[in-house]
Amino acid sequence: MLSAQEVDVIRATTGEGAITLIARQWIPLIVTDDQMPEMDGIALVHRVRALAAQPTYVIMASDAIDAETKERGCCAGVDQYVSKKNWETVLPARVAEGLKTIRLRRIGKHKLAHESVVTVDLHSGAHTARHLVGRLSAAIMLAYRTQGVVNVISLGVHPPQKEKVTDTQLSATLAALKGALRLQLDWVARLHAAGESHRFVIVPPSPSSDTEAFVQGVRNNFVSYAKSLAGQAPALTIGTTSVKPAANTKLPTAMEVRGKAESARRAQQGSVAD
């Protein structure tokens, strides 16, 4: 099916066989089952991430894809899940999307710092959705142990009048975001967004007053920037959530906490397309 779409496909019959192939050459995209003899999908992904010197996109097929499954996979390094019930219909599009993502990642690796449109964290740059899951999971556990609070901010940048956000506009928008960041304190991840929009998730430290100050700082910097574009600035949407993990209750997953912040942002969104 993939070969018919002019995708070069190399097959391995076992996880160890796949590792041997990956050790010999760069394979930009891997499709794997989560349940396999000798080495399951998660173990395979751990090995892949340890070996891969170049960006590699991993798609995993699974019978059950719930929040906990996704979180475990994201922490291991899975980029996308597909259900075994309808994988034939969705896999070609997911593979095409994955290969495009890898091309962009490779281009991003070679861009000069002043040309990059993805660097928002002054210390380490924007992280991926997979890194966000690990960071949020650690924050949830820390808040549970210390009876603290997990704060999450969801931020969307949307093109004016359904036009494409140019690199210059996005860079200027990120500069506005940088102006409100605190070096080595606020943690930023960039997420996939539909259309020409851009999404970020920020995990600031407690207390919640810091979160409020951060959001206000972003808004102030963004308003100043928007005035210079005479009505052509991208629209900004922000949603926040605070979660306090309680004893004797099930800990929320990172995906659930992120989802609450995303829902809050969409509620503020109005007519802006996401």
Ranges of each domain in the chain: 3-110, 129-269
Q: What pLDDT is recorded for position 59?
A: 93
pLDDT interval class at 33 (50, 70, 90):
very high
257: tokens are: 């906490």
Q: What pLDDT is recorded for position 9?
A: 93
**Sequence-distant (≥ 6) Cβ neighbours of residue 163 within 8 angstroms:** 196
Q: State yes or no: pLDDT of 113 exceeds 60.
A: no
> What CATH code would you report for 3-110?
3.40.50.2300
Q: State yes or no: pLDDT of 26 exceeds 80.
A: yes
Note the Cα 214 to chain centre separation in Å. Answer: 21
Q: What pLDDT is recorded for position 209?
A: 55
What is the overall mean pLDDT for the chain?
A: 77
Mean pLDDT (whole number) for 133-139: 79
What fold does the segment set 129-269 form as a domain? Alpha-Beta Plaits (3.30.70)
Looking at the chain, the whole-number percentage of residues with pLDDT higher than 70 is 72
pLDDT interval class at 72 (50, 70, 90):
confident
Q: What pLDDT is recorded for position 31?
A: 95
Do 129-269 and 3-110 fall under one CATH topology?
no
Burial, 38: exposed, middle or buried (Cβ in 10 Å; 0-12, 13-18, 19+)?
exposed
Note the Cα 25 to chain centre separation in Å. Answer: 27
Asked if 78 and 58 count as a contact pair (C-beta separation under 8 A), the reply is yes
